[in-house]
Amino acid sequence: MPEHEPGTEEEFLASYDPRAFDPVAVTVDVVTLTIRDGELQVLLVLRGVLPFRGAWALPGGFVKTGSGTAGERVGEDLAAAAIRELAEETGQQPGRFHLEQLATYGTPGRDPRMRVISVAYLAFAPELPDPRAGSDAQAAAWVPVGSLGLADNAAGQRPGTTRKLAFDHARILSDGLERARSKLEYTPLATAFVTEPFTISELRAVYEAVWGEPLHAANFHRKVLSVPGFVESTGETTETGGPRGGPRARLYRRGDARLLHPALLRPGLEEGIR
Amino acid sequence: MPEHEPGTEEEFLASYDPRAFDPVAVTVDVVTLTIRDGELQVLLVLRGVLPFRGAWALPGGFVKTGSGTAGERVGEDLAAAAIRELAEETGQQPGRFHLEQLATYGTPGRDPRMRVISVAYLAFAPELPDPRAGSDAQAAAWVPVGSLGLADNAAGQRPGTTRKLAFDHARILSDGLERARSKLEYTPLATAFVTEPFTISELRAVYEAVWGEPLHAANFHRKVLSVPGFVESTGETTETGGPRGGPRARLYRRGDARLLHPALLRPGLEEGIR
DNA sequence: GTAATAGTGTCTTTCAGACAGTATAGG
DNA sequence: CCTATACTGTCTGAAAGACACTATTAC
């Protein structure tokens, strides 16, 4: 780190050498969640290159840092890199997802190649067509999270069919799932998993899939409608009843609330996590 | 990125050149909050080096990435770097703080020297002695957050006395404050701001300082004691009454709950953030 | 004494959850 | 017909907020 102390910021920056640093790489990894076949699924890629060739991993890649130096705005933003990775694998245009930063993972040795800092993002998507493999990937697929046997505290796991994820991606996915479960409680993000217009039952299916437990249909219905700004009625109903009978359901679109008051508290969490 | 496809992971890693990447630096910045003189304060340093010499900033510095290559576990973990920075400025031993990762900031141009990815951490500290300046800093001080005129949505600001922070540290601090306000609701983290044993009034003062509004003393008292695992009684009381009279208060220590059920909801947030 | 604070009792309102019941659809 | 589902009514218990009140200390 240069310490010759020029007088002005301009002089200082002109004489600054960014290559004096040890090599580090910055990547983004994206946990993309959706509901398919009534269960929570995550977008994974089958790695086609080393390291971890042949293992499943979260889609991700290196952030384009650019080669400019002082003051030039080169390279891409972290969120932009996440959107790019997501678009590569799903073939969807960016605007369709809710995307938020999850956490950053930088423990030495987590990538065998070099020191890698991974900024993980969390995306919520409505039901999408089958993914396509991007570069460096042999395949991309939606995988039920319950089939991954993650060591977290949610219900509905099948530890038998564990598929080992590359790097520390099991940990990242686990953190993403916990964030998703938590955010359903106090934000209207469940609506990011459905396409408009949607029924209250479809919304309930989202909660049941993410939380991994059945909810009381009648109380859920009343609760959703009583939270201001969660959903708003379109005045329409579905064309037909459900697949196994029942009346036509009313249709709703997303409301304008960004926080749910009061929140939808997750059941089964009553007696404290001590 | 080499693409000559050796057969095994070992061969691949041996031929991998980490220096083929554009230069990026990774830093940690720490938002350290405490309660002093009944108000929420943040630890800032007065920068003694360029860029932004003479401006106040969050304490932070470059992560030691080490120069090892394939597979070697060199360099320091991100959290370790945050603890190191914190210890440098406060002179306190690490274990006394609650520390958690806040978010990562990597917009191109946010640091005029080069592309810098900053992993921000959030620390909660009990009342501590005056800080000392570490390297690269002319001074370090506890600064009331209300005096910084941040553009956030909390009460009790004085936009007149704005002190401009270096880099995008105003944004980072603002995010940290919002995280702190939110975490007081559903976790027992308020206890990280007081020294054991503490009184319910001291705990209430923490909530009032962080949330920036007075709370109903009687209801707060009953509420805290009714949440299982939040605090546990020591059986002792204070030696004397308060500075302006009143009976001796009972003393408590931290309970074993990690989540508050039911939560202490923040008032004034009732009508939704639409 | 007065003023301030610690802590308790109790009432009202709100909300979550349980359960019953009605109406509408598919088969 | 039977069954499944959408939605409403109503009751109970938990909890938040408001207010009144007592007890204990500093001054």
The per-residue DSSP string of A112-180 comes to: SSS-EEEEEEEEE--S-PPP---TTEEEEEEEEGGGG--SSS-S---GGG--PBSTTHHHHHHHHHHHH
CA distance B149 to B145: 8
Contact assignment for A12 to B51 by CB distance below 8 Å: yes
Residues paired with A44 in a beta bridge: A141
> Kind of pairing, strands B60-62 and B116-124?
unpaired
| Beta carbons within 8 Å of A213's beta carbon, 6+ residues apart | A155, A156, A267, A268
> Kind of pairing, strands A56-57 and A39-47?
antiparallel
Q: Which two tokens stand for residue A175?
A: 């953190």
- Say how many C-beta atoms besides its own lie within 10 A of residue B163's C-beta: 12
Q: What is the pLDDT of residue B151?
A: 62
Which nucleotide is at minimal CA–C1' distance from A262?
C15
Q: Which two tokens stand for residue B152?
A: 């956030």
A203 three-class SS: helix
The single residue listed with the structure tokens 């926080």 is A259
Of A206, A237, A236, A234, residue with least CA distance to A220: A206
Q: What is the pLDDT of residue A273?
A: 42
Q: What is the pLDDT of residue A11?
A: 60
Q: What is the pLDDT of residue B161?
A: 45
Residue B121 backbone dihedrals phi, psi, to 5 degrees: -120, 155
Which one of A24, A69, A256 would you mutate to disrupt binding with B, by most B Cβ within 10 Å of its Cβ? A24
Q: How confident is the model at residue A20 (pLDDT cuts 50, 70, 90)?
A: low
Express each pLDDT in A113-148 by its tens digit. Answer: 888 999 999 999 998 888 888 777 889 999 999 999
Judged by average pLDDT, the poorest of A37-51, A79-93, A248-262, B104-118 is A79-93
Q: Is the peptide bond before A51 cis (omega within 30 degrees of 0)?
A: yes
CA distance A272 to B218: 24
User: What's the distance, Cα to Cα, between the start and end of chain A in Å?
Assistant: 46
Q: What is the pLDDT of residue A13?
A: 57
Of B193, B189, B223, residue with least CA distance to B205: B193
pTM for the model: 0.89
The single residue listed with the structure tokens 């009976």 is B247
Q: Which two tokens stand for residue A177?
A: 């799932």
* DSSP conformation class of A190: G
CA distance A46 to A184: 29
Q: What is the pLDDT of residue B96?
A: 77
Q: What is the pLDDT of residue A12?
A: 53
> What value does the mean pLDDT take over residues A89-112?
87
Residues with CB under 7 A from strand D: A 199-201, 217-219, 221-222, 225, 237, 242, 244-250; B 216, 218-219, 223, 226, 240-248, 262-265, 267
Residue B48 backbone dihedrals phi, psi, to 5 degrees: -100, -5
Q: How far is B119 from chain A (nearest CA, A)?
A: 7
What does the pLDDT profile of chain B (274 residues) look like in tens digits?
444 445 666 665 555 555 555 678 999 999 999 999 999 999 999 998 889 999 999 999 999 876 544 444 467 899 999 999 988 887 777 777 899 999 999 999 899 888 899 999 999 999 888 888 877 788 999 999 999 987 654 444 444 445 689 999 999 999 999 999 999 999 999 999 999 999 999 999 999 999 999 999 999 999 999 999 999 999 999 999 888 889 999 999 999 999 999 999 998 765 544 4
CA distance A238 to B223: 45
Q: Do residues B98 and B183 lie in contact, with contact meaning Cβ atoms separated by under 8 Å?
A: no
Q: How far is B14 from chain A (nearest CA, A)?
A: 9
| Beta carbons within 8 Å of A152's beta carbon, 6+ residues apart | A174, A177, A178
Q: How far is A241 from chain B (nearest CA, A)?
A: 33
